[in-house]
C-alpha cells in the first residue's frame, strides 16, 4: 500500500461531498480519482477537491495501479456491479448504504469478497449506529445486565414530506424507484435502525415478521417516471432469542413522531433517540432495591462532546481499517444479514 492512501470516489453526488471532505482533510489519504457520469458535477467536484484524475467511467480508475481504495457513492442499483468490479481490480472498497437493491446482489457481492481475502470491504451502515457514542452507551447497559432479559424493542420515526427525490435531495429521482433505490424509508433508514438495535442486542436472527407498506398519501407532483417506494411502512418481528421488535418508519405520513427507541427488559427499560442530533439524554426506568422497591426513573446523559457529526468517524474508521489499525466499520456479512431482514419485511408486506 502506498504511503499516502490513494482514494477514488465513484459517484460524485450528495453523500460523496462528505466523503471527499473527509479524505481531502486527512493527511493519511489523498483523493486521486473521481468517476461521475454527469460532466458538470464531475468538473465541479474535481476542482473543489483538487482531484487530479476524473472520468465518466469508473473502470478508468480501477486500471490505475497507484489507486488503493474506492468509495462507491452511486445509487444502490449499481452497487453490486461496481463493488464486484472494484474487488476484481484489487481495490479496497467502502460501499455506501443500502448495500444493494436485493439480497441476491448482496450475497453475490459477499461471495466475490470472499474470493479476495486480502482485499478489504466494508459497508456504511455504521454511520449513525456503531460510531455513535450512544451505541456503546446502550450496549454497555445491556451487556452489564441493567435491563435484564430484553423482550421488546419499539422504534418509531415518522416524518412528513421528507421524501428522498421530492423534498430531500430532489434531483435524485432514483430514490422514488424501488428497482433503483431498493426501497423507501424502511430501506434507506432501516439499515441504520437494524445496525443500531440488533447491534446492541447481540445480532439475533429474524424468525417471523408481519408488515405493511403504503404510498400515495397525497397528490405530490414528483416529476419522476415512477414512484414505487413506500412512504410509510412498519413491521412486527420476532427474533431467535424470542425478542419482539415493533418498527415503523415514514418519510411521509399524516402524523409526526420523533425518532424514538424503547428497549424493554425484565429488569429495566430505556427510552432514547439514537441519532447524533437527538437529545443525549436517556430515560432509564427500573425498580430500586434490586427490583424489590419503588418504580424509579433516572435521566442518564451520554457524553457526545467528542462526536460532532457522523461522517468523520466513518471516514476515520475506514482509514484505520485500511491501515490494519481497526475493524471494518460495518462487516459485509452483517450488512447482508440486515438487508435480508429488510427484504423479508417487504415480502411480508407484499410490497
Ligand X SMILES: NC(=O)c1ccc[n+]([C@@H]2O[C@H](COP(=O)([O-])OP(=O)(O)OC[C@H]3O[C@@H](n4cnc5c(N)ncnc54)[C@H](O)[C@@H]3O)[C@@H](O)[C@H]2O)c1
> What does the binding site for ligand X look like in residue numbers (CB under 6 A)?
10-16, 35-38, 41, 58, 73-76, 78, 96-97, 169, 172, 188
> In whole angstroms, how close is the CB of 106 to ligand X at the nearest point?
13
Instruction: For cell 429474524, name the residue.
Output: 206
**Exposure pattern of 304-330 as b/e (b: 16+ CB <10 Å)?**
beebeebbbbbbbbbbbbbeeeeebbb
User: In angstroms, what is the minimal distance from the CB of 41 to ligand X?
Assistant: 5
Closest distance to ligand X from the beta carbon of 81 (Å): 8
Measure the CA–CA gap between 264 and 283, rounded to whole angstroms: 12
* Identity of the residue, 26 or 81, whose beta carbon is nearer to ligand X in the bound complex: 81
Q: Which of 177/188 has CB closer to ligand X?
A: 188
Helix (H, G, I), strand (E, B) or coil at 192: helix
C-alpha cell at 41: 458535477
Question: Exposed, middle or buried by CB within 10 Å (0-12, 13-18, 19+), for 266?
Answer: exposed
38 or 262: CB nearest ligand X: 38
State which residue, 96 or 286, has the beta carbon closest to ligand X: 96
Residue nearest to ligand X (CB): 13
Helix (H), strand (E), coil (C) string for 209-257? EEEEEECCCCCCCCCCCCCCCCCEEEEEEEECCCCEEEEEEECCCCCCE
Phi, psi (rounded to 5 degrees) for 320:
-60, -40
Shortest Cβ 83–ligand X spacing (Å): 12
| Shortest Cβ 259–ligand X spacing (Å) | 15
Nearest to ligand X of 189, 245 (CB atom): 189
Write 212-215 long-range contacts (CB < 8 A, 24+).
212/349, 213/184, 213/186, 213/346, 213/349, 213/351, 215/184
Q: Which is nearer to ligand X, 187 or 239 (CB)?
A: 187
- CB of 273 vs ligand X, minimal distance in Å: 18
Amino acid at each position: 500500500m502506498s504511503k499516502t492512501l490513494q482514494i477514488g470516489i465513484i459517484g460524485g453526488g450528495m453523500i460523496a461531498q462528505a466523503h471527499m471532505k473527509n479524505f481531502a482533510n486527512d493527511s493519511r489519504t489523498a483523493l486521486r480519482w473521481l468517476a461521475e457520469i454527469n460532466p458538470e458535477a464531475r468538473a465541479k467536484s474535481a476542482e473543489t477537491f483538487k482531484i487530479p484524475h476524473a472520468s465518466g467511467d469508473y473502470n478508468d480508475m480501477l486500471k490505475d495501479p497507484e489507486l488503493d481504495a474506492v468509495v462507491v457513492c452511486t445509487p444502490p442499483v449499481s452497487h453490486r456491479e461496481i463493488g464486484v468490479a472494484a474487488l476484481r481490480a484489487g481495490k479496497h472498497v467502502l460501499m455506501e448504504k443500502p448495500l444493494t437493491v436485493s439480497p441476491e446482489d448482496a450475497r453475490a457481492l459477499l461471495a466475490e469478497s470472499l474470493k479476495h481475502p486480502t482485499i478489504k470491504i466494508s459497508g456504511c451502515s455504521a454511520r449513525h449506529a456503531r460510531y455513535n457514542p450512544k451505541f456503546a452507551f446502550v450496549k454497555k447497559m445491556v451487556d452489564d445486565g441493567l435491563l435484564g432479559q430484553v423482550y421488546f424493542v419499539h422504534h418509531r420515526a415518522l416524518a412528513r414530506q421528507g421524501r428522498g427525490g421530492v423534498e430531500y435531495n430532489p434531483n435524485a429521482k432514483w430514490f422514488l424507484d424501488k428497482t433503483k433505490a431498493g426501497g423507501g424509508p424502511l430501506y434507506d433508514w432501516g439499515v441504520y435502525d437494524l445496525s443500531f438495535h440488533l447491534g446492541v442486542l447481540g445480532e439475533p436472527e429474524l424468525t417471523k415478521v408481519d408488515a405493511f407498506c403504503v404510498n400515495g398519501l397525497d397528490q405530490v407532483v414528483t416529476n419522476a417516471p415512477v414512484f414505487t417506494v413506500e412512504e410509510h411502512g412498519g413491521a412486527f418481528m420476532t427474533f431467535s432469542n424470542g425478542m419482539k421488535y415493533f418498527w415503523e418508519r415514514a418519510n411521509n405520513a399524516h402524523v409526526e413522531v420523533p425518532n424514538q427507541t424503547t428497549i424493554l427488559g425484565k429488569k429495566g427499560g430505556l427510552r432514547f433517540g439514537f441519532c447524533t442530533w437527538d437529545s443525549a439524554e436517556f430515560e432509564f426506568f427500573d425498580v430500586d432495591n434490586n427490583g424489590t422497591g419503588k418504580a424509579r426513573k433516572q435521566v442518564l446523559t451520554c457524553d457526545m462532546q467528542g462526536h460532532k457529526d457522523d461522517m468523520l468517524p466513518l471516514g476515520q474508521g475506514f482509514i484505520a481499517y485500511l491501515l490494519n489499525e481497526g475493524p471494518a466499520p460495518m462487516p459485509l456479512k452483517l450488512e447482508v444479514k440486515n438487508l435480508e431482514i429488510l427484504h423479508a419485511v417487504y415480502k411480508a408486506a407484499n410490497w
